[in-house]
A and B are shown apart, each in its own frame.
Chain A
Amino acid sequence: MAHDTESASGEHIVSPMLYVGIFLFLMVMTALTVFAASVDLGWANPVVALVIATMKATTVILFFMHVKYSTRMTQIVIVGALFFLFLLLGLTLTDYLSRGWMSFPTH
């Protein structure tokens, strides 16, 4: 990114062209996820949708929210928060899924 510079208060300035590129990527991924929903992938439908959503969210966090250029402490705290979100969702699921209570189709 040869056009990137620093502002008066010392932080990284992302070029508008990169922002537009990120925007186009997000729009393409949105179109892709809507298309993927119209194809019967069985159990993989939610997986594909969530993988695409996570790619979009990661792009927004890294570039629109400037985390790629943030201090190391901010980055570590965000990764730590995602770990606790994983504990919330992951440990709840391991409990429920291991009890045979759920009615979702497994084929």
Chain B
Amino acid sequence: MEQQRETATFGMWIFLITEIMFFGGMFAAYLIYRLSYYQAWVDGSNRMDIKLGAFNTAVLILSSLTMAMAVHSAQVGKRNLLILFLIATLILGCVFLGVKAVEYHDHWLNHEVPGQYFSDLDEHGVSKGWTDTSHTSLYFALYFAMTGMHATHMIIGAGLLIWLIIASYKGKFTPGYFSPVENVGLYWHFVDIVWIYLFPLLYLISKKHSG
């Protein structure tokens, strides 16, 4: 049993490593373009709502705690606690996605979605004071690609959590067998780590570099 469990976890890590390289490519693109079009990156970054970003970071860290507690509950065979912690993780994941939707809607209203309606004027027609609008569009393209891909992973994670909640309710997991809980946990923590890097890179590091 122990060898089976270790093999499953090892396989999950191999998958997560492919995910690290997948997100790594986008981080590399972000890095090169930030260094190339620095002022455009500062202008774009200053349009981020740090309060909402910080709130979402806290929500995601709390969801990692509830996920870790769900795995712990499975390890010690407490079925009701396992279901409770999985539901708490699912709710926190949905809160994160809800806040992200509010932010996306705000960018939509303010002409910050790259494309035909991308503009340096906000929803009231007031100038945002951008100096390099075409490359600020590049910042937002990467912002939506990276946070969008992160949100996609969150939605998949939410689906996996629903599956785990149903399986736990049916009593599928015992202290001797809970690899699905453990490996979805690894996936959830990985998605948390991606956000731990996205939050400072997209929201924070240019705050004091407006000019």
Contacts and interface: CB of A to CB of B under 8 A. Distances in A.
B124 interface: no
Interface string B185-209: 1100110110011011101111111
B14 interface: yes
Given A61-B189, A96-B36, 16 more contacts: A8-B175, A22-B68, A26-B64, A27-B58, A33-B200, A49-B200, A50-B197, A57-B197, A74-B10, A74-B13, A78-B13, A88-B28, A96-B32, A97-B35, A103-B35, A103-B38
Contacts of B207: 37-38, 45
Contact of B61 (A23, A40, A101): A23
A30 B58 contact: yes
A23 B27 contact: no
A64 B205 contact: no
Nearest to A33: B200
Contacts of A13: 72, 75-76
Interface string B60-99: 0110110111001001110000000000000000000000
Interface in A1-45: 7-11, 13-14, 16, 19-20, 22-23, 26-27, 30, 33-34, 36-41, 45
Interface in B150-178: 174-177
A78 B21 CA distance: 12
B149 interface: no
Interface of B is mostly: helix
28 contacts: A9-B1, A9-B2, A9-B175, A9-B176, A9-B177, A10-B2, A11-B5, A14-B72, A23-B62, A27-B58, A33-B199, A34-B204, A37-B204, A50-B197, A53-B197, A53-B199, A57-B197, A61-B193, A74-B10, A77-B14, A78-B17, A81-B20, A88-B28, A102-B35, A104-B35, A104-B36, A104-B38, A105-B38
B196 A56 contact: yes
Interface residues of A, number: 57
A50 to B, nearest CB: 7
Given A7-B75, A13-B76, A34-B54, A103 B36 contact: yes
B35 A84 contact: no
Contacts of B197: 50, 53, 57
Contact of A84 (B1, B21, B75, B199): B21
Given A37-B205, A50-B200, A11 B36 contact: no
Contacts of B190: 65
Contacts of A98: none
Contacts of A65: 185-186, 189-190
Q: Which 5 A-B pairs have the closest CB atoms?
A: A49-B200, A37-B204, A10-B2, A8-B175, A40-B208
Interface string A51-89: 011001100110111000011011001100110110011
